[in-house]
Amino acid sequence: MPALVLDGKALAAQWEQQLSERVAVLKEKSSGKTPILATILVGADPASATYVKMKGNACRRVGMDSLAVEMGEETTTEQLLAKIAELNSNKDVHGILLQHPVPSQVDERACFDAIDLAKDVDGVTCLGYGRMAMGEEAYGCATPKGIMRILEHYNIELEGKHAVVVGRSAILGKPMSAMLLEANATVTTCHSRTQNLPAHIKQADIIVGAVGRPEFIKAEWIKDGAVVVDAGYHPGGIGDIEIDDGVKERCTAYTPVPGGVGPMTINTLIFQSVESGEKAFS
């Protein structure tokens, strides 16, 4: 039986229709106001500019407004903190996204943590991460939360399963492990320096590639019947996992690259922005 394709692009399109309806309700209740996502782009990194543009387009597709804030390459930590404080106090802004990465002279972690928890719709603050890991209310980091929404939609069983996450970044690998643990999976967190990595991956019922290296995880390491989730994206349209025809025949389900995790990352950011707007307008 061919593997189930975990189609994030199609799922995001379905959710956009639902989110459009929710935004329309909010506009009617609030005399035409909509949730507003503020995006902050510091510097002129072309990839970051593209991502910010995509997020603005996603806002418009569901009828939301976005506020694009662009700051120069020479921006200091203090200047960025002042801009975040301004957006925190703006009652018309319901979500704040600081595009990663920022220029090297900026203390990115300090700026992430300056974002008001109620507006942390990208799930990047230490407070939000801690609350999420403790099972308390908080917005989840957009990529791992998007993955969890994909797994939930396709009824992928997590309870009691052995999940192996390869990657330990603060906005992907670590929160991914915490979310899977909260869903009652048994979780092993690995990374690029893990010894005997193939042996760990061979045990995985669910493998999540989040290491940021093209095809770092080899097809031959993946056991038959596994669920394969690839959160990477690299030039040439390849991910962190080598997903060849053999893997597609042997695994239970997999996310394509592109068209799997990426669309649901952006959709989750919009989903959480709409939630924040609903709370503010209630």
Q: Which of 98, 91, 45 is nearest to 69 (CA)?
A: 98
Active site residue 55: yes
Domains along the chain with CATH numbers? 31-122 (3.40.50.10860), 142-262 (3.40.50.720)
The answer, yes or no, to whether residue 208 has pLDDT greater than 90, is yes
The pTM for the full model equals: 0.95
At 1, the pLDDT band (50, 70, 90 cuts) reads: confident
At 282, the pLDDT band (50, 70, 90 cuts) reads: confident
Which single residue is written with the structure tokens 């690299």? 234
CA 219 to chain centre: 24
pLDDT in tens, 124-170: 999 999 999 999 999 999 999 999 999 999 999 999 999 999 999 99
Q: State how far the Cα of 140 lies from the Cα of 142, in Å rounded to an integer.
A: 6
pLDDT at 116: 98
Mean pLDDT of all residues in 203-217: 97
Q: State how far the Cα of 115 lies from the Cα of 96, in Å rounded to an integer.
A: 7
pLDDT at 2: 83
Selected catalytic residue, list 7, 55, 65, 120 = 55
The answer, yes or no, to whether residue 117 has pLDDT greater than 90, is yes
Q: State how far the Cα of 96 lies from the Cα of 9, in Å rounded to an integer.
A: 24
pLDDT in tens, 45-83: 999 999 999 999 999 999 999 999 999 999 999 999 999
pLDDT in tens, 229-278: 999 999 999 999 999 999 999 999 999 999 999 999 999 999 999 999 99
CB atoms under 10 Å from CB of 145, counted, come to 24
Instruction: Give the mean pLDDT of the chain.
Output: 96
Selected catalytic residue, list 120, 122, 205, 240 = 122
Active site residue 122: yes
Q: State how far the Cα of 102 lies from the Cα of 85, in Å rounded to an integer.
A: 17
Active site residue 113: no
Selected catalytic residue, list 65, 99, 119, 230 = 99
